Amino acid sequence: MPRLLGILTGGGDCPGLNPAIRAAVLRAARLGYKCLGLKDGWKGMIEGASVPLGLAEVENIVGTGGTILGTSRTNPYKKEGGVEAVLANFRKLNLAAVVAMGGEDTLGVAARLNAEKKFPVVGVPKTMDNDLSSTDYTFGFDTAASVAMEAAERLKDTGRSHHRVMVLEVMGRHAGWVALYTGLAAGADAVLIPEKPYDKAALVSAVKAAHDRKGCALVVTSEAIDMGHDESEKLDEFGHMILRERGVGEKIAKTIETATGLETRAAVIGHIQRGGPPTLFDRILASRAAAAAVDFVHQNKFGLMASLRGEKIVGVPLQEASGTLKTIPSDLVELLDTFCPAGAEEASVHA
Ligand code: F6P
């Protein structure tokens, strides 16, 4: 009888999950395995909730957004009897291994189960935040930042027409990758990321200088910049704050309008970034990573994540990948001084 692989997708969905599921199923079939879909991430393992996952189910999903398996932010370590239920259902479903597709939280659970219970699991890195260590990129990011870039350009059109300052708030949690790439690619006049301390005076002067020069300005801000926040904010099962509730984009817009007198509008792109068809880059990265993860299973190399390093997909320990967040390195942060100089500096750049 063919051995059975369980596949799950956990955490925030992102474009690329469906091509990854398809790739895992196709590679598994080639290596003589069958697959079973586990519903809604680790929740499906806790509840033993599964869906058929064969070639027919993945036939037409390579270009679709979301995940056909569903997802959730369920943490078995935060549920009474959660880990025991995962182990019991693994046996009951007669699985040989689990392929977990997720970000730091989903893969953090995988790493812990593997280390503490010798659970046969491998990881496929996904997250629109691009903040997973030990891999150059995660799929989902390219699509999310491309969608945000287009939104930013649309805001520029309306801002130019009304001679306004436009502020775009993007997701990305505690790393500013989405904001940085969106802002640089759309030619924003200021980009606010959690890796660079918020400097109100520099922001105001950059916006004023841009508006004086061209009659409009665009600011891209990460949802996670620190403007001083309320410690009582709600946390999810992995201990993360729900950042959109901070309303950073609106706060930045008010700050700019009050300080400059310029008419300012804020827009929040939010979950629109997470839907829609994956880009070419994300489809290929997702397909390669998922196929490699199934290869690890076949080679009995559990506890690994399929990571992009340069042009190659390699195995890295799940522990290492989920241990620390990958934030923007200083050389990339410094690029902002060239493309988005604060006002006084900008005057000399444009002199
Ligand atoms: O981690 C992905 C992400 O999209 C973050 O960028 C964002 O802060 C969070 O998920 C939003 O979570 P939810 O979909 O649960 O509102």
Whether the CA torsion 145, 146, 148, 152 is positive or negative: it is positive
Q: What is the CATH number of domain 143-275+329-339?
A: 3.40.50.460
- Rounded Cα gap, residues 189 and 185, in angstroms: 11
Nearest to 76 by CA among 118, 42, 117: 42
Q: How close is the Cα of 271 to the center of ligand 1, in Å?
A: 8
Question: In the prediction, which pLDDT does 202 show?
Answer: 96
Which CATH code of 3.40.50.450, 1.20.1260.10, 3.40.50.300, 3.30.70.2190 fits the domain covering 3-139+277-323?
A: 3.40.50.450
Quick check: 186 and 167 in contact, CB under 8 A? no
Residues of the chain with CATH 3.40.50.450: 3-139+277-323
Q: Is 224 in the pocket of ligand 1 (CB under 6 A)?
A: no
Question: In the prediction, which pLDDT does 268 show?
Answer: 98
Quick check: 267 and 244 in contact, CB under 8 A? no
Give every residue of the chain whose pLDDT is below 50, as ranges: none
Q: What is the pTM of this model?
A: 0.95
| Atom nearest to 128 CA in ligand 1 | 2
Q: Is 217 in the pocket of ligand 1 (CB under 6 A)?
A: no
Q: Count CB atoms within 10 A of the CB of residue 295.
A: 18
Question: In the prediction, which pLDDT does 347 show?
Answer: 57
Does 129 participate in catalysis according to the annotation?
yes
Q: Is 172 in the pocket of ligand 1 (CB under 6 A)?
A: yes
Q: What is the largest CA-CA distance in the chain?
A: 74
Dihedral class, residue 30 (left if φ above 0, else alpha if ψ from -120 to 50, else beta):
alpha
Residues of the chain with CATH 3.40.50.460: 143-275+329-339
Residue whose CA is closest, atom 6 of ligand 1? 172
Whether the CA torsion 332, 338, 340, 341 is positive or negative: it is positive
Q: How close is the Cα of 14 to the center of ligand 1, in Å?
A: 10
Which residues fall within 8 angstroms of residue 96, CB to CB, at 6 or more apart? Answer: 3, 4, 5, 33, 120, 297
Tens digit of pLDDT for each residue in 257-300? 999 999 999 999 999 999 999 999 999 999 999 999 999 999 99
Which residues make beta-bridge pairs with 241?
235
Question: In the prediction, which pLDDT does 237 show?
Answer: 83
Nearest to 113 by CA among 6, 29, 1, 4: 6
Residue 318 vs residues 49, 111, 115, 278: alpha-carbon distances, Å: 25, 5, 9, 25
The structure tokens listed for 231 are: 């410690």
271 three-class SS: helix
Which residues make beta-bridge pairs with 5?
35, 97
Torsion of CA 38, 43, 47, 48, to 10 degrees: 20
The structure tokens listed for 43 are: 């929740």
Question: In the prediction, which pLDDT does 348 show?
Answer: 63
Give me the count of residues in the chain.
351
Question: In the prediction, which pLDDT does 351 show?
Answer: 58
Residue whose CA is closest, atom 3 of ligand 1? 12
Which of 43, 171, 223, 236, when mutated, tests ligand 1's pocket best, judged by the most ligand atoms within 8 Å of its CB? 171
Question: In the prediction, which pLDDT does 232 show?
Answer: 65
Burial class (CB in 10 A: 0-12, 13-18, 19+), 230: exposed
Question: In the prediction, which pLDDT does 3 show?
Answer: 96
Nearest to 288 by CA among 316, 310, 312, 319: 312
Which of 13, 67, 128, when mutated, tests ligand 1's pocket best, judged by the most ligand atoms within 8 Å of its CB? 128
Active-site residue, selected from the candidate residues 13, 40, 105, 129: 129
201 three-class SS: helix
Question: In the prediction, which pLDDT does 231 show?
Answer: 60
